[in-house]
Chains A and B, each alone.
Chain A
Amino acid sequence: MKVSMTVNGKAVSGEAEGRTLLSSFLRDGLGLTGTHVGCDTSQCGACVVHVDGKAVKSCTVFAADAAGANVTTIEGMANPDGTLGTLQQAFQDHHGLQCGFCTPGMVMSAAALLADNPKPTAAEVRHHLEGNICRCTGYHNIVKAVLAASGQDADRIAAE
């Protein structure tokens, strides 16, 4: 079947089977390989994208179920001139990534948090990111990056 949706502001369409996952549709169908598939069992959160403004695990949503939706992926997080968005820049500035595999999901989950709660506490950031796993265990700097992107002093937080 043909599936159409809006991805990062552009109308797109592609062929999908009933079983085609949104993550596969984005990566294999549209070539948007910034969305990573880590576990493919909805546990690690590397594949998080926004569907109509809500963070979801794209490996656990069918592409056909997102037909007609407004989807944002990590590729849609940069500024229009191609420079890094505030949250992305904060990840770079605070060394919020080591191998970088989990980063797209971390950024998308964090963006959803900040949209809902613009000035979260460190504890709220940690709680919100509990569905995103960093196997480098670089959580502390990720929390710093999210706090910095929210305009708060990130250097004062203590390791928990």
Chain B
Amino acid sequence: MYNFDFVKPTSLADAVKAMAQEDAQALGGGQTLIPTLKQRLASPAVLVSLSGIAEMKGVCVGDDGALCIGGATPHATVAKEAAAKFPALAALAAGIGDPAVRNRGTIGGSLANNDPSACYPSAVLATGATIVTNTRKIAADDFFEGLFTTALEPGEIITEVRFPVPERGAYAKFQQPASRFALTGAFVAKYGSGVRVAITGASENGVFRWTEAEKALSANFSAGALDGLTVPSDGLIGDLHGTPAYRANLVKVMTKRAVASA
């Protein structure tokens, strides 16, 4: 990999300053970025590690009842500390990668990268979570802009994610067994105001809401309510693991499984 200057600020203010340098890149847990650097697919001049910033780590409950997770919180911490308040999210975190990856990889890193097969984006979109950065708050519906693309501006850092905890919710993932990324994953969240469904791993544009399923489940929250629905395979991912038609079927199957276990 190409060399870079490495800095590890201990406060958000210092991290924001460091990110203002030319060609600076934020480093979360590095579980995607370091392999990317090794392949020379990225060549930042400055790498700003966010893992030394205590104020960006941890899980807590906000005044409005939302579950707040610091942007630099590793998956393993979410798996443990969110279990009582939001078990579906804890289970999602506990299923990312493997134990060593979960000890390093962070929620902020995953969301900023917006891999089309990552798990977290589905939870954020299905719950209508709020992404808090050093400059603003971004609604989940406005955050994901397509393949590896988000609403984040250069230098902007995800400091916290606030999840409204659903009455019932679950994540069901059909995993690619080697990488444990989602071949297709469905996150279902039921609120008093209705049901939201977000699908990851399936679309060439990354995570998306399956609005037909949301309507059907808002009227009748049962797996059977999805029986009459079909998912078009246009724009879905086709690769050696599965065709677009296969993934279209998985969208429905995994959503049903999520509803059944919610």
CB distance from A131 to the nearest CB of B (A): 3
> Can you list the 3 inter-chain pairs with the closest CB atoms, starting with the nearest?
A131-B98, A18-B6, A54-B103
Q: Judge whether A65 and B51 touch: CB under 8 Å.
A: yes
CB distance from B186 to the nearest CB of A (A): 22
Q: Judge whether B4 and A18 touch: CB under 8 Å.
A: yes
Q: Give every chain A residue within 8 A of B103 (Cβ-Cβ).
A: 54-56
Our pick among A41, A64, A112 for the contact of B38 (Cβ within 8 Å) is A41
Task: Assess A42 versus B99: contact at CB under 8 Å? Given A18-B3, A18-B6, A19-B3.
Answer: no
A-B contact count (CB 8 A): 75
Looking at A48, A61, A130, which has the most chain B CB atoms within 10 Å of its CB? A61
Q: A65-B8, A65-B27 are in contact. List 8 more A-B contacts (CB 8 A).
A: A18-B5, A48-B100, A54-B76, A60-B35, A65-B51, A130-B98, A130-B99, A130-B180
Our pick among A1, A55, A60 for the contact of B30 (Cβ within 8 Å) is A60
Binding site for B on A (CB under 8 A): 1, 17-19, 21, 40-43, 45, 48, 54-57, 60-62, 64-65, 67, 109, 112-113, 128, 130-132
Task: Assess A62 versus B38: contact at CB under 8 Å? Given A19-B3, A56-B104.
Answer: no
Q: Judge whether A17 and B3 touch: CB under 8 Å.
A: yes
Q: Give every chain A residue within 8 A of B31 (Cβ-Cβ).
A: 42, 60
CB distance from A73 to the nearest CB of B (A): 14
For B225-241 the 0/1 string (1 means CB < 8 A from A) is: 00000000000000000
Q: Give every chain B residue within 8 A of A1 (Cβ-Cβ).
A: 6
List which B70-128 residues lie within 8 A (CB) of chain A. Answer: 76, 97-101, 103-104
For B29-47 the 0/1 string (1 means CB < 8 A from A) is: 0110011011000000001
Q: Judge whether A60 and B6 touch: CB under 8 Å.
A: no
Q: Judge whether A19 and B1 touch: CB under 8 Å.
A: yes
CB distance from B45 to the nearest CB of A (A): 10
Q: Judge whether B99 and A62 touch: CB under 8 Å.
A: no
Closest to A18 in B: B6
**5 A-B contacts, Cβ less than 8 Å apart?**
A18-B4, A43-B178, A45-B100, A61-B104, A62-B34
Q: Judge whether B6 and A61 touch: CB under 8 Å.
A: no
Our pick among A42, A54, A132 for the contact of B34 (Cβ within 8 Å) is A42
Q: Give every chain A residue within 8 A of B8 (Cβ-Cβ).
A: 64-65, 67
